[in-house]
Structure 1
Amino acid sequence: MSITGRILRSNVDMTQGKPLTVIFSFALPLLVGNLFNQLYNVVDTAIVGRALGADALAAVGSTGNINACLFLLLGGLSTGVGVIVAQYWGAQRYEALRRLLGTFFTLLLAGSVLLSVLGVALTAPILRLLQIPADLLGMGVTYLRITAGLLLGNALYNAASAVLRSTGDSRTPLAAMAASSLCNIVLDLWFILGLRMGVAGAALATVAAQFLSALICLWVLWRRKKPFAFASVRLCFNSEDAALILRFGLPTALQSCMITLGGMTVQGIVNSFGSVTMAAYTAVQRIDSLTIQVVVSVSNALAVYTGQNMGRRDIDRVRQGLRATLKALCVICLGLALAVFASRRLLLSIFLDPATDAASIAQGADFLSVMGFAYIIAAVMNSYLNVLRGAGDVNVSLIAGLFEMGARLAFAGLLAPRLGVWGIWLATPLSWASGCIIPVARYYSKEWMKKALL
């Protein structure tokens, strides 16, 4: 069988088999794909920091939360729609799924155009609001206008990969991310080092790679024939499906944005400490975006697992999956925390030159010491949240996001004036601990069992 044939037949039925085996076998391609995805940021950051200097790194880093907010509005909508797709798929309701996807892609395209226009128009005012230093503003505006103006590639990848994953295919998004990451590396080196395009080159390389990943996922969906033919989906607008998409997608999208908006506010506090702290914060975020992927991938697999099993109304199997996943993740995260702590300065030297950026490396090492041991908290929070999301109890995500954002702002605002940069470093794990309260309480209330779509 050809590689294409294997990809086209890679759907996994998560309603059968040992829960932990099924979840982790599905999560492994997700993890590798997410690592390739984050490689975009790592390569961009390493090349920008090493080739263009700490100021350029700080400028690009200051746009991260704004980009994330724009991307997550549409990406969160795709994640929410993935819940519906998983439950329809588990119940084998293919005709309803076809109509739903036609409406979803119509909404996605319209939303991409609107957010691109807003992102380009509001770039400079938002960066000024975040107190980015005047000498870094021009580079930040250049980078953000390119990535925001061409966010359609990211939106299409998130949408197509959400459909693939919710139907049991975690291999195709992996292949797409591997190809696009290699593309991004080549273009980064060419645009930044070869053509001397500066931060604009980094932005264009990332955008081009995102479009490549989207095209690969859409092509595989288009080729798939059984049991559901994606090629038969047509752009349309059905008011009932639109309401369902917004009911499931908006809470997830807003929850993601609430966390990011909290991050934007914290970024403003970080910026007030100057370029040394900004560079340290950016480097740690890039490292964290890689190390946290174990938690993200396994918990996302748990959401698909939950959705498919709720489509069959097998609640006992959902509970078994959560228990087994929590035990495994806690052990993994403890080992991960120790590894990050032991190698924190080596990791930071990938992005910052020890000879010229020693102060940023020192601050970043302190931050990584805190972040590494917060991964267990993140594992608990994300596992419970994704079970609730997969079950269809999506409003909890929004409430938890608001609570976490409020906690992060409160801790950063209260601790930074008293503890300096340590106040910012401590705000993240403390807000994650606060964010655990709502999903854990909701799960044990058993109300989520009544939220299944079917």
Structure 2
Amino acid sequence: MRHTAVMAGTGAIGLLAVFAVDLLNLLYISLLGDRALTAAIGFTGAVGMLQLSVSIGMSIGLGACVSRLIGADRRDEARRVASSALVGMAIVMLAIGLAAVALRRPILHGLGATDGSAEAAAAFVSVVSPFLPLIGLGMAFSALLRAVGDARRSMTVTLWGALITALLDPALILGLHLGLQGAAISTVISRGAVALLGFLSVRRHDLLQRPEPRCLLPDARRIGTIAMPAILTNLATPVGGAYTTHAMAHFGLPAVAGLATIDRIVPVAFAFIFALTGSVGPIMSQNLGAGLLGRVRDTLRASLLLVLGCVLVMWAVLAVAQNGLVLLFSAHGATASLLRLFCSATVASFLWVGALFVANAAFNNLGHPLLSTLFNWGRATLGTIPFVTLGMRWGPAGVLVGQAAGGVVFGTFAVITAFIVTARLRAGEDGAGIATSPDVPASSAKAAMAELSEIDGSDRET
């Protein structure tokens, strides 16, 4: 519990800063009094999450592979794999960014953007998307820092990026009257700073080397066994979100603006849970690599308890603060109604969403990445489309409730499956369970457990 809480807590501080800046962006734009610009943030958010899902999936694969190699005391191999992955990350994200610029108008119109909101969103995408390799590398460096347990530097790097954005946003959006273009420029500068600081921090741990051309493809395939299912898994969430945005667009810009406001509040309110799902994977992988299978299950249990505590606290806070948030974001009509509904009721569904995130982290790091793909896409399709479509009969509120209901169903089944997976791992305490991973042979697990049996309990805990 302590290890999980510390890793997630330090990560949450950094994420909270980043998400808080995104929330401030929305606040600055809302002060301009243009509903089209506020709605445009919702559309650009949907596009951005589709792009970032690839980067998140690749960083998950990188973190899982490197953590497992470090746990098995194969640091030279971990260094080579990390360096190869960074090259692949930059190439893939550049291709995605350029494709997004070329197809920005069809994508935005498909989401339901029209007239002023479509033009503003297209301009934002044109500025930010070509620089996607910066955020990809920043996420990769953060994953490497978590893989070696350096939660403090991972947090510090993210904090600096958030600070730069916080300083530039009001100057560019309000001071120079650049509006959404100003937010795009500050985003690019901030991501560049995160990538640079992340590189300098990872280099301190001697986890980088000159990439070996002959190893690029083999290492890419190795990471891809985890990264590809993780990418597919993470694409599910923005795809489901895109359908929800499209459904909201049927009820006008105020409804889209309300959804955009909620989408910015959620990461701030639940930054701890987002950080937890990124931190719990390396913890599980290191214990898997070292043969400590009992601690893998303990980590899953501790993570779910932390999710429960976080949701209960934030539900109480948002319920009390809902009227203040309505005033702060100058919300009226459907925007205000959706915001109040979220703060008082549908926020509770994040207990199951957070549990789904934790279960997916377990699947990705314990050799069952296809399970995370199955549950996330199940939530994005069967857990979103029929529920949201049915909810549209009751207006924007029905859309929001439908989205929440689907998360409850799939979160429940995902947690049950995660406990089954970890129980089966624990049953193979002779190390055979670890041998299912090509990275860690059973002999390494047996040797580690034999060594552990010769030390007393206090040293084992250390």
Q: How does the TM-score come out when normalised to structure 1? A: 0.89
Corresponding residue for 1:318? 296
Cα distance, 1:358 vs. partner? 5.0
- Mapping of residues 246-395 of structure 1, within 5 Å: 246-350=224-328, 352-353=329-330, 357=332, 359-395=334-370
Identify the match of residue 409 of structure 1 among 382, 385, 388.
385
Identify the match of residue 153 of structure 1 among 122, 134, 144.
134
1:234 lines up with 2:215 in the alignment? no
1:177-198 C-alpha deviation (Å, 9 max, x unpaired): 2111111122111211222212
1:374 aligns to what SS in structure 2?
helix
Aligned partners of 1:330 and 1:69: how far apart in 2?
A: 28
1:112-135 C-alpha deviation (Å, 9 max, x unpaired): 221111010010111111121223
Cα distance, 1:437 vs. partner? 4.5
Corresponding residue for 1:7? none
Give the gaps of 5 or more residues in structure 2: 426-432, 441-462
Instruction: Give, as a single letter, the amino acid of the residue that structure 1 aligns with 2:209.
Output: S
1:77-107 C-alpha deviation (Å, 9 max, x unpaired): 1112211111111111112112212321121
Q: Identity of aligned pairs, percent?
A: 20
Cα distance, 1:267 vs. partner? 0.7
Corresponding residue for 1:93? 74
Instruction: Give, as a single letter, the amino acid of the residue that structure 2 aligns with 1:329.
Output: V
Instruction: Give, as a single letter, the amino acid of the residue that structure 1 aligns with 2:366.
Output: A
Aligned partners of 1:305 and 1:374: how far apart in 2?
A: 26
Task: Give the RMSD, CA atoms, in angstroms.
Answer: 1.8
Q: Is the 8 A contact 2:80 2:208 kept in 1?
A: no
1:361-405 C-alpha deviation (Å, 9 max, x unpaired): 233211332332112212322222222222232121111111011
Deviates more, 1:425-434 or 1:270-279: 425-434
1:208 lines up with 2:189 in the alignment? yes
Aligned partners of 1:328 and 1:98: how far apart in 2?
A: 32
Aligned partners of 2:237 and 2:310: how far apart in 1?
A: 24
1:55 lines up with 2:36 in the alignment? yes
Aligned partners of 1:267 and 1:444: how far apart in 2?
A: 33
2:103 aligns to what SS in structure 1?
helix
Give the gaps of 5 or more residues in structure 1: 1-19
1:429 lines up with 2:410 in the alignment? no
Seen in structure 2, the aligned counterparts of structure 1 residues 46 and 311 have a Cα distance that, compared at 3 Å, is same
Instruction: Give, as a single letter, the amino acid of the residue that structure 1 aligns with 2:58.
Output: L
Cα distance, 1:434 vs. partner? 2.6
1:117 lines up with 2:98 in the alignment? yes
Aligned partners of 2:352 and 2:376: how far apart in 1?
A: 15
Identify the match of residue 109 of structure 2 among 121, 124, 128.
128
Aligned partners of 1:420 and 1:436: how far apart in 2?
A: 25
Cα distance, 1:299 vs. partner? 3.0
Q: Is the 8 A contact 2:101 2:125 kept in 1?
A: yes
Aligned partners of 1:384 and 1:286: how far apart in 2?
A: 24
Aligned partners of 1:172 and 1:371: how far apart in 2?
A: 35
Q: Is the 8 A contact 2:359 2:372 kept in 1?
A: no
Deviates more, 1:403-412 or 1:428-437: 428-437
1:343 aligns to what SS in structure 2?
helix
Q: How does the TM-score come out when normalised to structure 2? A: 0.88
1:205-256 C-alpha deviation (Å, 9 max, x unpaired): 11111111111111111233xxxx2342426343332211111101111111
2:384 aligns to what SS in structure 1?
helix
Cα distance, 1:69 vs. partner? 0.7
Q: Is the 8 A contact 1:160 1:218 kept in 2?
A: yes
Corresponding residue for 1:82? 63
Cα distance, 1:359 vs. partner? 4.5
Corresponding residue for 2:453? none
Cα distance, 1:269 vs. partner? 0.9
